[in-house]
Structure 1
Amino acid sequence: MPEGHSVHRIARQFDRNVVGRAVAASSPQGRFVEGAAVLDGRVPHEVRAVGKQMFLGFDDDLWLRVHLGMYGAWDFAGDILVDPTIASANGRMGQTNQRGTAIDGDEGPVFDRAGENSLSSIGAPRRTRVHVRMSEQTTGLDDDGDVPWPPPVVGQVRLRLLTDAVCADLRGPTTCALQTGEEMAATVSRLGPDPLVDDPAIGEERFVSVVRRKPTAIGLLLMDQSVVSGIGNVYRAELLFRARLNPHTPGREVPEDVVRALWSDWVRLLAIGVETGQMMTMDDLSPEDYRRAMASRDDRHWVYHRAGLPCRVCETAIVVEEAAGRKLYWCPRCQA
């Protein structure tokens, strides 16, 4: 499932390439025809990301709400203008490590073999489906004149938003709906704090207050979007390991300083995810190890997707179990 960092990257993509431009809206799949007709010809004036949900604002107090869910993604084509605050073209990483400092001698691009961090497809990892031109110019073709504009529809596209330069195709979302401003505000009010939306200090107090009064296991609370926004299966497992916290510990039994440390770590990891496009959760890597981790998720996580493999710290086999229908990875020794 796309987690919070992906949705914030999508919002930045929309802000730079779609907001302020009239869109031709259609539903090639046929499941959002009426909604697309309402949006057709309008100019979006604002985009917001909150947790795993994105809201694209139009005039008349109209908002497009998109929740990607397990399998959703936005595919982009055309003259994509790169946001300088995030990783650049074709999966190239910003030249920083997880501490935000320069990596000596790291001048080349890093590519993720699973398809993450592509400017042309953000959401559930998938192979790039559409052509992207990185330029400031608007043409309908690539340099060889081989790519038609607009690009042909490929697969099940719920919603296509087309400007004069950029095409955004939405596939497989859990939610694609129009809301009034009041309805949008009500949706957001039900979500827990998002470090990139809420004041971090206020968000911390909200998070601590909820967790410290709940009998629910902390491993479930971190996945509850009404408790904290944006955390999914990967970040949940990694945050708990980094805190050396047993996922079955009731929230109200987790010491307050540990709960606060969880929030601070989430603030940090989310910022790294937005910057790099990857859920990088390992610290103090050498430049070589960092590049390897950027290219392969198997080298960027402490416990996630490592069932049966030795813990990177104590060498105990990582276990996986079902928790509310999702896989939970953890080290039974480090997190005892």
Structure 2
Amino acid sequence: MSQASNSPLTDLSYQQSYAPTMTLAMAQQRAQFMNTIRQFFTSRQVLEVQTPLLSQAGNTDTFLQSVTAQVTYQDKPYTYYLHTSPEFAMKRLLASWQVPIYQICPVFRDNEIGTRHNIEFSMLEWYQPSYSLDDIAAELGELLETLYGYPIVLSHYRYVDAFMDFVGIHPLTASLSALQAVAEDKGLTGFDFNSKTTDLNANTSYVIDDENRRQDWLDLLFSHAVEPNLGHDLPTLIIEYPPATAALAKTAFDKDGNKIAKRFELYINGIEIANAYDELADGQALRKRFEQDNQLRKRHNLPQMPIDERLLAASDDLIPCSGIAVGIDRLLMVITGAKSLEKVIPFPSGLA
């Protein structure tokens, strides 16, 4: 069977319907929504920038899959990647210019389809020099008030407290076996995070350490047992995540002496809307994290991603700052009360 025969375009219903899934009224509301965001940042002297969608490097995050593009550059074939966020390129600008910047752009994440997911979606990302994580949270609150049109109170909820409230176990001190037992008790079965992994290319085997296995179980429990309960009364910031989730954020210690990531995520109506970091300015430390990501990708039989060497060089010159990424489509969805992304975008991936 040819690849073309598996395309959504061969489905008669797709062929017969050219109409957008978003109404004209929603399109007009979306346009005003975008205009309000731009006015918000213009009034704060935050520079709007535009960075390339295509890059020679990719995101090494284990659970973010990049869309690849085969290009020809100077008559030679190359594999490029559509960015999963504009973060890497924006940090190169920030290291050079050292001024507040923001961007609204399409981003791409492969194999993400659903009522809250799409392969291509819109992201707002901004960086503020000399801002703490609390400062960027306050600015996020001001943006939400502007978009909602009335005062907003942001609830701050420690990851540890949310986990204990809804899962009943301390996420930073629980043993690997305890986390697995709780997951199985909640009916989350069929997951194997403990297996030995073989590198088929090198014909060698290695074992991922317990901390990474623990994080796999934490992620599973958090997504199934905690996330659905968040942000129904008030928009909620989950703060003080486990250190394994730091990605490009700094780490610190909480009031109990546990190591945590200096980042937060915003949840509204059980939906993740935004992700913020107190940005790590250390190219060597980031390289180690990216290399560890690629080891985890091997474990999950995912392709190794080329590391962005330009980002690592820029990171050493990055001034103290915090940054945040906001899913524009999801935020518009929760503000308007839409039940799925297809109501706030014209053509979801299956109809593109």
* TM-score bracket for the superposition, by shorter chain length: under 0.3
Structure having the higher helix fraction is: 2
**TM-score between both structures, scaled by the size of structure 1:** 0.25
**TM-score between both structures, scaled by the size of structure 2:** 0.24
